[in-house]
Amino acid sequence: MELKKQVRTIGVVAAAVFAMSPVVANAASGDGTAAGGCNKDGHNGQAYTHYNEGGVYTKVTWFEYRISGKGTGGKSNVNIRHYEKRRLQKDKLLYSNDSPDNVKQNTDYSHTPRNPIQLDSGKKQHTDYHFVFDTAGGDPTCKATTSDFPA
């Protein structure tokens, strides 16, 4: 009878561990955000790349940016370039998008690619945001680069 009780206890513990396994796997995946920022002549650019880690791929799902600081004329631009990070070669361009000539100050903007940008989870990636601030005379520029991800 004692042996039967031990076998039942082991079975219950094994079932509990098995039932928890998907939770542990899901805890290792999820949504993430890589951020970057830059400034030039009192103008600021903030940028965020939103992605999802799950399984064998990391998928970039949308981009977000904002201009703040010194006033602009309401016709600024933000040009997005998303790359695969390479160690011994030039980074590989995976995606690009240029905003319309109408980005206003202190307004949150987002851009969603038609299809998520998918890359093997073992490969690093990052996004460059090229900010062109609309001002009288020359337009100051700066580049914000996100941290490499996944971590």
In angstroms, rounded to a whole number, what is the distance separating the alpha carbons of residues 133 and 85?
27
Q: Name the token pair of 150.
A: 């996944």
DSSP letter for each residue of the chain = -HHHHHHHHHHHHHHHHHHHHHHHHHHT-EEEEEEEEEEETTEEEEEEEEEEEETTEEEEEEEEEEEEES---S-BEEEEEEEE--SSSPPEEEEEEE--TTBPTT--EEE--SS-EEEETTS-EEEEEEEE---SSS--EEEEEPPPB--
pLDDT for 54: 84
Q: Name the token pair of 38.
A: 């830059």
**Domains of the chain: residue spans and CATH:** 30-145 (2.60.40)
pLDDT for 29: 59
Q: Structure pTM?
A: 0.79
Go through 88-115 and write b for each residue having 16 or more CB atoms within 10 A of its CB, e for each that does not: eeebeebbeeebeeebebeeebeeebee
pLDDT digits (tens, 9 = 90+) for 97-146: 999 999 999 999 999 999 999 999 999 999 999 999 999 888 999 999 99
pLDDT digits (tens, 9 = 90+) for 42-95: 999 999 999 999 889 999 999 999 999 988 888 999 999 999 999 899 999 999
**Which has the higher per-residue pLDDT, 125 or 5?**
125
